[in-house]
Amino acid sequence: MLNRRSFISQTVAATSGLTLAPWLLETLGAQASGRAPMRFIFMHKGNGLFPQVMVPPSLRREDLEKERRKEAFSVDLAQHDLPAWMQPVARHKNHMTILQGLSGKMCTTGHHTWQSSLGVYRANEALTSIKWATVDFELARLFPSPLDHIELACFPHDGGNARGNVNGIETGFSARGPQQPNLAYGSPKVALRELFRVVSNERREQVQHELERMVLGFTAGNHLNLAANLQGAERTKIANYAESIDAVRTRNGRLEAMADVIRRHLPRLEDRYLADDINTIDRQTGHVEILLATLISGMTNVVTFTVDELGTLYTGLRGLERELINLHDVGHGRGVGTLSADAVRTEIRIQHMSLIDTIIRRLKAAPEADGNMFDNTMLFYFPDNGETHHSSGVEWPFLVFSGRNSRLNIAGRYIRLPAHGQVGHKTLGNWYTTILNAYGNPITHYGDLDLALERMRMNQRGPIREFLASR
């Protein structure tokens, strides 16, 4: 009988598209070198992010003029006040970068963008629109972990991905590879049940876990027998499927081996965070607890969190607790209660900053090596569709928080890059290429190119070299 391991190895050697992940991890996710892994958190929001709200209010007149003309400059944030809505993260200002001037006109923009903002290509609901793995998955491959990558989402009630099934496990906003959308957990309840089943004290969950183990083993053996009689493309297809099963079994085995560690960091969620009728603010807070537990326990090194999407109906927002907030209406300038549309946007951003503050504080409190876990973490906050509600992708603001072991030389700065069409302009593709190059992926350029910039004969390939820290 064909041995499963030798079958996969032989097929990998015969087909260029298959490789097995180099799982060089110790129990807590550290690499074989003994160094702590880097961790990446991608938090993206719907309904755009106005570039003007990112600007420090204390800029000098000459810098404000450059900002108005969208010309390149950089200032030390330590010498400036932050916009008022950033006050929840003001204590982390030395780790903060306000990055302006990137564009993403090669992406899907407007109301719903699917995998666009993380993949730098035009995406839609069709699987065939997914060209390659999104940047978060590329980083997860550089720093492997038992679960590779985790995605959490506050799904929309109407329009966009997974509309209507806000509490389920549905197609997310990341992609594992070509035509391979990722799945995201829509509620803290389902994420807790699925991710932490290995340490569940409930008999039903224990039985479910054991049944899954048996089914996977049976299925793997069944497909190996089938593959022995196949050739060419069909053999490759079965090899892909067999490897997927093998990866799930291996993942489960690693989680079982680190059950004691996972149990120590099991999220302790109050009943309101596990309710089916959970409000948006509690959903976000519960997701943050899941995010922290999976990172601190070493289950993953990369988490993507959709804090809201255009179709997300907000409930529980501070000052508007009794209101149902339609982000699409807000995007068209409609206020809610006594607040204008801009004031509602501000309150939502303040809520997002409070989530980021919780994440950073908790990671700073978790010891690691000669420091703490935040030392080895980067967090990105950005819109999924660019600069405004009906965006064109001409600007794509980012708020970045990076620990002291970051390989990017950007912390503590407000950075305005040249506007779209100006000499030296940079795109989302340049930005993600920079991050990937900094952490070990030598890719020449990540993402599609902007055809308008191509027509201008502007060089838009490669990293933003001044952002790369010297080693």
Domain boundaries, the chain: 40-200+274-467
Residue 269: C-alpha distances to residues 189, 275, 363 (Å): 9, 11, 18
Vertex 258 angle, CA 256 and 260, to 5°: 100
Report whether CATH 3.40.720 matches the domain 40-200+274-467: yes
Calpha distance 4→285 (Å, rounded): 43
- In 3D, which of 464, 409, 443, 359 has the Cα closest to residue 39? 359
- Residue 75's beta-bridge partner residues? 414
- In 3D, which of 98, 78, 81 has the Cα closest to residue 399? 98
Helices 4-14 and 203-227 pack at an angle, to 10 degrees, of 60
Calpha distance 457→466 (Å, rounded): 22
Calpha distance 398→401 (Å, rounded): 10
Q: What is the pLDDT of residues 87-98, one digit of tens each?
A: 999 999 999 999
Calpha distance 76→283 (Å, rounded): 35
Strands, DSSP E only, in 270-417?
Answer: 302-306, 313-314, 325-326, 367-368, 371-372, 377-383, 398-402, 413-416
Q: What one-character DSSP code corresponds to residue 129?
A: G
Mean pLDDT, rounded, of the chain: 86
pLDDT of residue 464: 98
User: For 91, what's the count of Cα atoms within 13 Å in the CB-facing half-sphere?
Assistant: 10
pLDDT of residue 6: 38
pLDDT in tens, the chain (471 residues): 333 333 333 333 333 332 323 323 343 344 445 689 999 999 999 999 999 999 999 999 999 999 999 999 999 999 999 999 999 999 999 999 999 999 999 999 988 899 999 999 999 999 899 999 999 999 999 999 999 999 999 999 877 666 668 999 999 999 999 999 999 999 999 999 989 988 865 555 544 544 444 443 444 455 445 555 656 655 555 455 455 455 556 667 778 888 888 999 999 899 999 999 999 999 999 999 999 999 999 999 999 999 999 999 999 999 999 999 999 999 999 999 999 999 999 999 999 999 999 999 999 999 999 999 999 999 999 999 999 999 999 999 999 999 999 999 999 999 999 999 999 999 999 999 999 999 999 999 999 999 999 999 999 999 999 999 875
